[in-house]
Amino acid sequence: MNDAPRPLIDPDDVRIFSGRSNPGLAAGIARHLGLPLDPTHVDRFRNDNLEIQLGASVRGRTVFLVQSFVAPVAEHLLELLMMLDIARGAAAREVHAIIPYFSYARSDKKNQPRISITARLIADLIETAGASHVMTMTLHSPQVHGFFGVPIDPLTARALFVNHLRDCRLTPDSAVVVAPDAGGAKSAARFAEHLGLPVAVATKTRISDTQVMIDPLVGRQVVGFRRALIYDDEIATGGSVAELCEILVDHGVADILVACTHGLFLGNAIDRLAHIPQISQIVTTDTVHIPASKRLVNMRILSVAPVFGEAIRRNFRHESLGDLFAFGDGRR
Amino acid sequence: MNDAPRPLIDPDDVRIFSGRSNPGLAAGIARHLGLPLDPTHVDRFRNDNLEIQLGASVRGRTVFLVQSFVAPVAEHLLELLMMLDIARGAAAREVHAIIPYFSYARSDKKNQPRISITARLIADLIETAGASHVMTMTLHSPQVHGFFGVPIDPLTARALFVNHLRDCRLTPDSAVVVAPDAGGAKSAARFAEHLGLPVAVATKTRISDTQVMIDPLVGRQVVGFRRALIYDDEIATGGSVAELCEILVDHGVADILVACTHGLFLGNAIDRLAHIPQISQIVTTDTVHIPASKRLVNMRILSVAPVFGEAIRRNFRHESLGDLFAFGDGRR
Amino acid sequence: MNDAPRPLIDPDDVRIFSGRSNPGLAAGIARHLGLPLDPTHVDRFRNDNLEIQLGASVRGRTVFLVQSFVAPVAEHLLELLMMLDIARGAAAREVHAIIPYFSYARSDKKNQPRISITARLIADLIETAGASHVMTMTLHSPQVHGFFGVPIDPLTARALFVNHLRDCRLTPDSAVVVAPDAGGAKSAARFAEHLGLPVAVATKTRISDTQVMIDPLVGRQVVGFRRALIYDDEIATGGSVAELCEILVDHGVADILVACTHGLFLGNAIDRLAHIPQISQIVTTDTVHIPASKRLVNMRILSVAPVFGEAIRRNFRHESLGDLFAFGDGRR
Amino acid sequence: MNDAPRPLIDPDDVRIFSGRSNPGLAAGIARHLGLPLDPTHVDRFRNDNLEIQLGASVRGRTVFLVQSFVAPVAEHLLELLMMLDIARGAAAREVHAIIPYFSYARSDKKNQPRISITARLIADLIETAGASHVMTMTLHSPQVHGFFGVPIDPLTARALFVNHLRDCRLTPDSAVVVAPDAGGAKSAARFAEHLGLPVAVATKTRISDTQVMIDPLVGRQVVGFRRALIYDDEIATGGSVAELCEILVDHGVADILVACTHGLFLGNAIDRLAHIPQISQIVTTDTVHIPASKRLVNMRILSVAPVFGEAIRRNFRHESLGDLFAFGDGRR
Amino acid sequence: MNDAPRPLIDPDDVRIFSGRSNPGLAAGIARHLGLPLDPTHVDRFRNDNLEIQLGASVRGRTVFLVQSFVAPVAEHLLELLMMLDIARGAAAREVHAIIPYFSYARSDKKNQPRISITARLIADLIETAGASHVMTMTLHSPQVHGFFGVPIDPLTARALFVNHLRDCRLTPDSAVVVAPDAGGAKSAARFAEHLGLPVAVATKTRISDTQVMIDPLVGRQVVGFRRALIYDDEIATGGSVAELCEILVDHGVADILVACTHGLFLGNAIDRLAHIPQISQIVTTDTVHIPASKRLVNMRILSVAPVFGEAIRRNFRHESLGDLFAFGDGRR
Amino acid sequence: MNDAPRPLIDPDDVRIFSGRSNPGLAAGIARHLGLPLDPTHVDRFRNDNLEIQLGASVRGRTVFLVQSFVAPVAEHLLELLMMLDIARGAAAREVHAIIPYFSYARSDKKNQPRISITARLIADLIETAGASHVMTMTLHSPQVHGFFGVPIDPLTARALFVNHLRDCRLTPDSAVVVAPDAGGAKSAARFAEHLGLPVAVATKTRISDTQVMIDPLVGRQVVGFRRALIYDDEIATGGSVAELCEILVDHGVADILVACTHGLFLGNAIDRLAHIPQISQIVTTDTVHIPASKRLVNMRILSVAPVFGEAIRRNFRHESLGDLFAFGDGRR
């Protein structure tokens, strides 16, 4: 998007710092803006307390702090809270928390007694620590937006996916978008609409207390399609995707694309996906850092740096975020 | 539930007041507890300002204020806010807002630019006005729980429905629960599980900018069932239900039951439903007051007074709300 | 004041939106500033919930929201609260609530047990919803200023009145200013001082529980004056004014002018005033919209648009509001 | 009211402490309740910092802190704020500020640019320091009630005055209540109503920039009355009262009673009043401590200790404060 | 302290839960109170998010949550914050955070630019998450007390140490208390005073950028003493203590006792201390759990369970915490 | 520092006002910045209430309010709080409290039961009154920084002292820095490091309940030095310094310099110091105004105006405060 990087905003007015969760993405965002990534010094006292110093003066400036909530989540959270506290305490003009992957968005309701709606708790902690604004991407449910007391812009990677998939020549007669469960139906349908493709929805049945199975019924919906695009907001262990692929293949699907915004690929996820020959491509983003060891040959990692960079630029220039914004995005 | 009403809690410690939206339900709650409903005087100045007086001393007491957000919603909201303000300002010990129907729960996300997540705004207003705790029933989405900064108990009428429907002898081979759209799938499935019945989910297709149509596909799912139970959290104009009934009948369903927690029956809803002969019963509750003119002969209105009354009693006695609580209830 | 309207402030930095209570005044304010009035889309869901969208990007801008608290007051209040919430949530830089008529200023004290000092409650709600600053006009009592936690500028229309009345050639030997009750004495006196006229104060006696009568004593104070100017902050039903006119006429006053900032003219107010031949002129403002049907031939409606426009301009340019400000104005 | 003092509430649940402004009244309140006045140790460091220690454990208890805002006002204010902070920090259950004379209630509006509505500021400081409830007496204007974010009970000494004056045999044909200025009209009228007497109102005219004069007009209103009762909320230097007395005497009044809640008697007030032979009695209260040197022989000081004591007792027992409460009391 | 454990407070009014940092101490506190330790279920989602459930109803109850900030500190902190959030959200009456070791108290000032005073940040987070009261032990500096907005009781283990050391027969002619650096001088002096012993203070000199050395000067102060008691609030790697021992031995000390409240014993601390033959006893407490592998034969671990238990009991009964409280304790 | 004063910042964007505690310093700060000192009108009502008006428009501007907490401390505090309230209420853009001497920093911990950590209370009051930022100098303990919820810059006069003392030719072989007690050891050591001098620390012994004595031991540390520089943050009555001088002289010191940031010189401090012939110079600053009567011939008063002025300028221009900042300064 930005071949010859040059400052789009006065570099002296802005500071960008990264936590330790995803420095590559932070660097990419800074590069997109033609700005330096300012150094963050993180150390640890002998008693395991964190010791953080922001490496450039923030007085009177607009500060952006980039941190994804990947493992170790609690430490990355505290790291961000401390960075927010430092920026506010050092008299920054505005303090923006950029959280590409907000893992706790999954804890968004109380489906058992005496548990925490942790997404709200963390929204409050972020406000307490000094954030004046938050940017994030594809929250698990769009309602989590309402948990924040400060303005928040949940962005979307949809445009990146649509752009990329255009080259894959998916046509409505041969290809179908598949949501791996009912929760993702709405989001998948909206995605399919952008691609001009039909949509099928898998549902799950509880077999026993600990086991859930995908209803084979979804197979009937995909009969006649040669290609399928499985779409979800996040892939963790890849178990559901693998199970779903099996059903799709059983019903005649010969070529499968898998797309997800947050590619966690935990446990033996990579192994599982690598052993399904019908998967021709896995498309994901860098909201979560993916180490080389997990990068399968058929994996395409789209960088969200231009999305966040562009949002920062527009925010700074008071332009509308328009198509970057995830209106109603998320699984519900 | 309570044949010989008698105080379950010291009447001098508690005050129950009702706004003007649903005094019948408030009276029922008080009756369930064996307590008097204390008078609320609502008047109006010539400039349309409200003038409210609580008719009994609240100093040091636990106060319950009952108000549903039905039309005129803005006025009923302000009425509740003023009642909260009065109770707090007059040194009540605890101030509980009982909101059987929280209409703004539908405004729970930002699916267009520059709109308000009004459910969060109103949660904040209720806290500002002085509520120390909130009770409500079946929020449109369970995430709305997280919009509140004060403790909130979203209750459920599910037990009432299950009890009532037991007499209808719905059996898994002849009857199916139907969710009128994807959003309600999860909630319908959970309800079906309680009744030991299978579940089918209708989905909708957008035909034009202003028109949405139920996919006839749902018909295939109900083939072979003679009876269907349509379940939703709220019925407004009844349009979707009517359209759905047509499809069900077309596919062989001969007997339809309709169940919803919040029976608004707006516009010509009553007319529409009255003209579908296959509907043998409409089961709803009194979270929204239903005037005599809307009470069809095949309508059963289950009172939620015992649910709220019981919740108040347990809350007062520090007992767990257990089965009264809507864990993850709502359409999503 | 502004024959050739042209932008006094960079139009891209500012957004002006109007609620539905008084769009004419809002348009006038925008016109005075040479700025467009940005569109507000207000709709209503079937369940009576409001659905509002601001029609122009507010990110990083200074936003002015204009709304008078006229009937339906509760709805206009909620409308404003939602507009404030939208502007703040969409990352506006500053959000100013312009409330030309703040009706609830009358609920400013607790003269009975268990009522609400609603003016304070509403000030708190406005702050909760996101206002960073408030502008209003002639509060019923000047103390209401202190109810707000955010900066507030209560403006005055006094200069407009004094300018206008200059043409009426009221002289201290023939004309007297009359306050219709003790509460308005201070304000009337200050007004009379600006005009260089003497002042008389009517007082009221309670005859029975529901009836209050103007003391005929005021008549003695006006003996010798041919002309009288009755001055009050607001005229609601016009009952007191009519009763007062009768006494004045009985004591020799032949020509009466009536002046009020907020002309509500509720019930049969217009009828009453139209039937008093001695009233040669009724001077009021457009803080409250006056429909054509209420515009008597002897009515002069002074627009406060230049006052608010000027205040906005000076506020934006960091100039003192000086003479626009209602220092101690109001009835007390 | 309380011949044989005995605890009306469990003494171990309650602590009463006094600041240095009016320990006599605090002791009287404690005595009325049959409770000990707990010791407060106030010292001063060499750099003029205050050093305060509450002399009894407050953990889990209901704490009452008594302080009047008399000179040195700033120090007495800080003293109270520190006492509040101590009680809250030491885990008191409730912390009540008892402020018999809230002097800053006079700073209740902005009648010049760039001044402080200090009454609101101080209400906020008191809340910040930890007060959960406030009791005070006869605020200068009743709107000041609305400045507080915590519940507040403004009490009245009216019953004490009415009781006391009953013995003075004031009859409607011979005695009139006189308000010394328009601001006090409403309060005087209400007082007169309780006594069954007529009321007259003095008004003032500005002669020059620095001089204000009572309009002799008030004289006409009192013609025919032999006795007058001048009533105001507070007497500071006594100047207005002295000037008013002169006019009353000139118009035939032979016997004058002066009544005020807050008897400050500053400057040469005592001298002035002592030299008006027609003043047969000055009735005031002990909200402000009156040293022996200021106690004229014709002065009656009614203790408000029973009023505050009774309010504390009722508050503790959750009884209505009813007739102790100053509904709409104050000068306006 | 409590041979026959029995409930000192109504067990139904109280709930005690433990995080995973120090369940042994939590169990000890519960045992001291004769109450059960209620279960906490802590699990982890695949994306490393914590999933916590409190295992007993807390509605209307007084809840105590026990957690020490030991490694992994960030996770134990988040765990506590979630437990606080759950308790508050589930309508507990009071929520007390019991933090025996508050590690971040060391981050109590800004000695470099752009760092965080993390102790204040965490105090704010704890308040945001819902704590109504905090109990902790021996903060690194007593000023940290002032970082909390909610009441906090910093307790002390001093009485435990004094009791235990009485048996060691330390006499003022043969034994001296030694503070390992200037920061600990005040605290060591106070401790020595309780034991009736003299005190010596070691100071440190910076040799290079990364090296600090204990001034041999301290040796001169201990000449003539056969026994020394090194006292500090916390021992981390034991480096300073080892270095100090060497100097003491060089100056004739033959028997060394080491006492610290928080025994972290990180890195090779245990090894270091085990190899100093003159150390006859290491006395510490269980604010930090010490695994069996670190328990040297000459180590005495005094349990602080009775201190916290007693504080809880007194707090619950509204008794003064008196001698349990660490007035001015800490290193400064 | 600034021979030809000229505005370093746009004078129309900034307002500087002074309270009555130290107008000379405020004028010096304004002069350093080449800006006018705007007038503050402070008056007093008859009831001792303060009446304050800021004498220049602050709308939209950056406002600096200068006030030291010297006697009468409570009044100067209230004065500052009112000035903050005025500036915020009059819509200033930023409100900075400049507090050169923050006396209550000494009340920074709870060393007795039921006292107030007043430094925290006052930090909260300052935030409540409307400060958006605070600047101060050499807090008694650096932890007090953490008491503030708004950004605060504690500055240091160290550079001024070091500059000034360079001329005194103190050399490490002949001169030693002496801390008058253990609390000041750290600060004195850092100061000595800047001067390249060795450091000695006096300690104190409690003789009786009310008497404390400096340990003569300090004498041994200074043997061999001809010159000594006593350094402390504040000198109050000068008692400790005088006692310390005696010991120093007894041990051979012939020339003593005394340096302190805050020169209060209370009681007979001036007398005491004047009678010690070995004191060749007393160096202090003007954070506290020193009247002519207290200015000994050997006193040098360094103005901190350039330090505050420079900090204001850098803050306004978003430059780092670098060496002006007191990292970890203070007695501990």
ipTM of model: 0.93
pLDDT in tens, E96-106: 999 999 999 99
Residues of D in contact with E318 (CB under 8 A): 12, 57, 59-61
Q: In what order do the strands lie in the sheet with A152-155?
A: A14-18, A62-66, A94-99, A133-137, A152-155
Q: Is E295 helix (H, G, I), strand (E, B) or coil?
A: coil
Taking the C-alpha atoms of residue B67 and residue B74, their distance in angstroms, rounded to an integer, is 12
Residues of E in contact with A128 (CB under 8 A): 124-125, 128
Give which of D108, D106, D79, D84 is closest to D95, Cα–Cα: D84
Q: What is the DSSP string of F224-256?
A: T-SEEEEEEEEESS-HHHHHHHHHHHHTT--EE
What confidence category does residue A207 fall into, taking pLDDT thresholds of 50, 70 and 90? low
A124-138, C191-205, D295-309, F234-248, range with the lowest pLDDT: C191-205
Query: Does the structure show a pLDDT above 70 at B238?
Result: yes
Taking the C-alpha atoms of residue A52 and residue A38, their distance in angstroms, rounded to an integer, is 13
Tell whether C166 and C296 lie within a shared domain.
yes
pLDDT in tens, C159-193: 999 999 988 899 989 999 998 887 787 788 888 88
C90: Cβ contacts below 8 Å, ≥ 6 apart: A151, B113, B114, C54, C57, C58, C59
Q: Which residues of E are catalytic?
A: 204
Report whether F299 contacts F258 (CB < 8 A).
no
CA distance from start to end of chain F: 31
Residues linked to residue E263 through DSSP beta bridges, in sequence order: E235
How far is C-alpha C136 from the geometric centre of its chain's CA atoms? 8
Tell whether A21 and A151 lie within a shared domain.
yes
Residues of E in contact with F144 (CB under 8 A): 143, 146
Query: Does the structure show a pLDDT above 90 at C219?
Result: no
Of A117, A119, A186, the CB nearest to B182: A186
pLDDT of residue A330: 58
Tell me how close the Cα of B149 comes to any Cα of chain E, in angstroms.
9
What confidence category does residue A329 fall into, taking pLDDT thresholds of 50, 70 and 90? low
Residues of C in contact with F90 (CB under 8 A): 151
Tell whether C248 and C147 lie within a shared domain.
no
**Phi, psi (5° rounding) for residue F229?**
-120, 105
pLDDT of residue A1: 43
Residues linked to residue F204 through DSSP beta bridges, in sequence order: F214
- Quick one: tokens of E226? 């056969």
pLDDT of residue C203: 74
- Quick one: tokens of D114? 């760039």
Query: Does the structure show a pLDDT above 50 at B2?
Result: no
Chain C residues within 8 Å of chain F (Cβ atoms):
133, 151, 153, 314-321
Nearest residue of chain E to residue D89 (CA atoms): E151
Residues linked to residue E256 through DSSP beta bridges, in sequence order: E228, E279
Residue B29 lies in a domain: yes
How far is C-alpha D35 from the geometric centre of its chain's CA atoms? 23
Answer whether D61 sits within 8 Å of E315, measured CB to CB.
no
Report whether F106 contacts D47 (CB < 8 A).
yes
Tell whether C206 and C232 lie within a shared domain.
yes
Taking the C-alpha atoms of residue B154 and residue B248, their distance in angstroms, rounded to an integer, is 32
Answer whether F315 sits within 8 Å of A61, measured CB to CB.
no
Residues of E in contact with D91 (CB under 8 A): 133, 151, 153, 315
Domain tally for chain F? Answer: 2
Give which of D209, F69, E59, D120 is closest to C146, Cα–Cα: D120
Report whether A330 contacts A140 (CB < 8 A).
yes
Of D12, D57, D88, the CB nearest to E151: D88
Answer whether C143 sits within 8 Å of D325, measured CB to CB.
no
Q: Is C121 helix (H, G, I), strand (E, B) or coil?
A: helix
Report whether D120 contacts D141 (CB < 8 A).
no
Report whether F287 contacts F183 (CB < 8 A).
no
Query: Does the structure show a pLDDT above 50 at A37?
Result: yes
| Mean pLDDT in residue range B308-324 | 87
- E63: exposed, middle or buried (Cβ count in 10 Å: 0-12, 13-18, 19+): buried
Q: Is B50 helix (H, G, I), strand (E, B) or coil?
A: strand
- Quick one: tokens of A313? 């630029």
Tell me how close the Cα of E59 comes to any Cα of chain B, in angstroms.
5
Residue C3 lies in a domain: no
What confidence category does residue F2 fall into, taking pLDDT thresholds of 50, 70 and 90? very low
Answer whether F59 sits within 8 Å of C318, measured CB to CB.
yes
Quick one: what percent of chain D has pLDDT higher than 70?
93
Tell me how close the Cα of A302 comes to any Cα of chain C, in angstroms.
28
Taking the C-alpha atoms of residue F191 and residue F301, their distance in angstroms, rounded to an integer, is 18
Neighbours of chain C (3+ CB pairs under 8 A): A, B, D, F
Cis ω on the peptide bond leading into residue F216 (within 30° of 0)?
Answer: no
| DSSP state, residue F189 | H
Residue-averaged pLDDT of chain C: 91
Chain C residues within 8 Å of chain D (Cβ atoms):
108-113, 117, 119-120, 141-147, 182-183, 185-186, 201, 203, 320-322, 325, 327-328, 332
Q: Is E70 helix (H, G, I), strand (E, B) or coil?
A: coil
A1-10, B76-85, E134-143, range with the lowest pLDDT: A1-10
Q: Which long-range contacts (CB under 8 A, 24 or more apart) does D237-242 make?
A: D237/D266, D237/D267, D237/D268, D237/D269, D237/D272, D237/F46, D238/D265, D238/D268, D238/D269, D238/D270, D238/D272, D238/D273, D239/D272, D240/D180, D240/D181, D240/D214, D241/D180, D241/D272, D241/D273, D242/D272, D242/D273, D242/D276
3-class DSSP string for D59-125? CCCEEEEECCCCCCHHHHHHHHHHHHHHHHHCCCCEEEEEECCCHHHHCCCCCCCCCCCHHHHHHHH
Query: Does the structure show a pLDDT above 80 at D1?
Result: no
Enumerate helices (H) and strands (E) in chain D, giving the number of each: 9, 15
Residue-averaged pLDDT of chain D: 91
pLDDT in tens, A157-182: 999 999 999 888 999 899 999 988 87
pLDDT in tens, F256-269: 999 999 999 999 99
pLDDT in tens, F14-73: 999 999 999 999 999 999 999 999 999 999 999 999 999 999 999 999 999 999 999 999
- Quick one: tokens of A10? 């006065």
pLDDT of residue B331: 57
- Quick one: tokens of B214? 């139920």
pLDDT in tens, E3-60: 444 556 788 899 999 999 999 999 999 999 999 999 999 999 999 999 999 999 999 9
pLDDT of residue A210: 65
Residue C195 lies in a domain: yes
Answer whether F121 sits within 8 Å of D106, measured CB to CB.
no
For residue E87, what are the domain limits? 14-157+306-324
Q: Give whole-number Cα distances, F104 to A120, A129, B75, F135, F140, in Å.
A: 38, 26, 50, 15, 9
pLDDT of residue A160: 94
pLDDT of residue B55: 96
Q: Is A293 helix (H, G, I), strand (E, B) or coil?
A: helix
Residue F189 lies in a domain: yes
Residue A98 lies in a domain: yes
Q: Is D155 helix (H, G, I), strand (E, B) or coil?
A: strand
- Quick one: tokens of C300? 């002069």
Q: Give buried/exposed letters for A279-308 (b at 16+ CB in 10 A, else e).
A: bebbbbbbbbbbeeebeeeebebbbbbbbb
Q: For the packed helices D73-89 and D118-129, what is the interaxial angle rounded to 10 degrees?
A: 30
Tell whether F180 and F88 lie within a shared domain.
no
Tell whether F72 and F181 lie within a shared domain.
no
Give which of F1, F63, F60 is closest to F32, Cα–Cα: F1
Instruction: Please indicate whether residue C124 or residue E326 has the higher confidence score (pLDDT).
Output: C124
Give which of E325, E318, E317, E315 is closest to E96, Cα–Cα: E315
- A217: exposed, middle or buried (Cβ count in 10 Å: 0-12, 13-18, 19+): middle
Tell whether C241 and C315 lie within a shared domain.
no
Residue A288 lies in a domain: yes
**CATH number of the domain enclosing B123:** 3.40.50.2020
Tell whether E39 and E168 lie within a shared domain.
no
Q: For the packed helices C118-129 and B73-89, what is the interaxial angle rounded to 10 degrees?
A: 110
Give the E-state strand segments of E61-164 in sequence order: 62-66, 94-99, 133-137, 152-155
Nearest residue of chain F to residue D75 (CA atoms): F74
Answer whether A321 sits within 8 Å of C88, measured CB to CB.
no
Q: Is B102 helix (H, G, I), strand (E, B) or coil?
A: coil
Nearest residue of chain F to residue A85 (CA atoms): F151
Tell me how close the Cα of B124 comes to any Cα of chain E, in angstroms.
15
Do C and E touch, 3+ Cβ pairs within 8 Å? The answer is no
What confidence category does residue F329 fall into, taking pLDDT thresholds of 50, 70 and 90? low
Residues linked to residue A283 through DSSP beta bridges, in sequence order: A259, A300
What confidence category does residue B66 fall into, taking pLDDT thresholds of 50, 70 and 90? very high
Tell whether E178 and E101 lie within a shared domain.
no
Residue B21's CB: how many other CB atoms inside 10 A? Answer: 25
Taking the C-alpha atoms of residue D171 and residue B320, their distance in angstroms, rounded to an integer, is 65
Query: Does the structure show a pLDDT above 70 at F186?
Result: yes
Query: Does the structure show a pLDDT above 80 at A326?
Result: no
Tell whether C237 and C316 lie within a shared domain.
no
Q: For the packed helices A73-89 and A118-129, what is the interaxial angle rounded to 10 degrees?
A: 30
Residues of B in contact with C51 (CB under 8 A): 107, 115
Residue F330 lies in a domain: no
Q: What angle do CA C57, C63, C69 make, to 5 degrees?
A: 120
Give which of F107, F103, F139 is closest to E143, Cα–Cα: F107
Instruction: Say how many CA atoms lie within 13 Å of D170 toward its Cβ.
Output: 29
Q: Is C204 a catalytic residue?
A: yes
Residue D64's CB: how many other CB atoms inside 10 A? Answer: 29
Quick one: what percent of chain C has pLDDT higher than 90?
74
Q: Which of A59, A61, A93, A128 is the best substitution to test chain F (most F C-beta atoms within 10 A)?
A: A59
Residue B213 lies in a domain: yes
What confidence category does residue F1 fall into, taking pLDDT thresholds of 50, 70 and 90? very low
Residues linked to residue D230 through DSSP beta bridges, in sequence order: D178, D258
Tell whether E189 and E247 lie within a shared domain.
yes
B107: Cβ contacts below 8 Å, ≥ 6 apart: B115, B116, B117, B118, B119, C49, C51
E210: Cβ contacts below 8 Å, ≥ 6 apart: none
Of A52, A116, A266, the CB nearest to E47: A266
Taking the C-alpha atoms of residue E317 and residue B135, their distance in angstroms, rounded to an integer, is 32
Nearest residue of chain F to residue A61 (CA atoms): F318
Residues of E in contact with F320 (CB under 8 A): 113
Instruction: Please indicate whether residue F220 or residue D114 has the higher confidence score (pLDDT).
Output: D114
- Quick one: tokens of A291? 């180490």
Q: Which of D121, D126, D270 is the best substitution to test chain F (most F C-beta atoms within 10 A)?
A: D121
Report whether F288 contacts F266 (CB < 8 A).
no
Q: Tokens 């599980």: give the residue.
A: B193
Tell whether E109 and E163 lie within a shared domain.
no
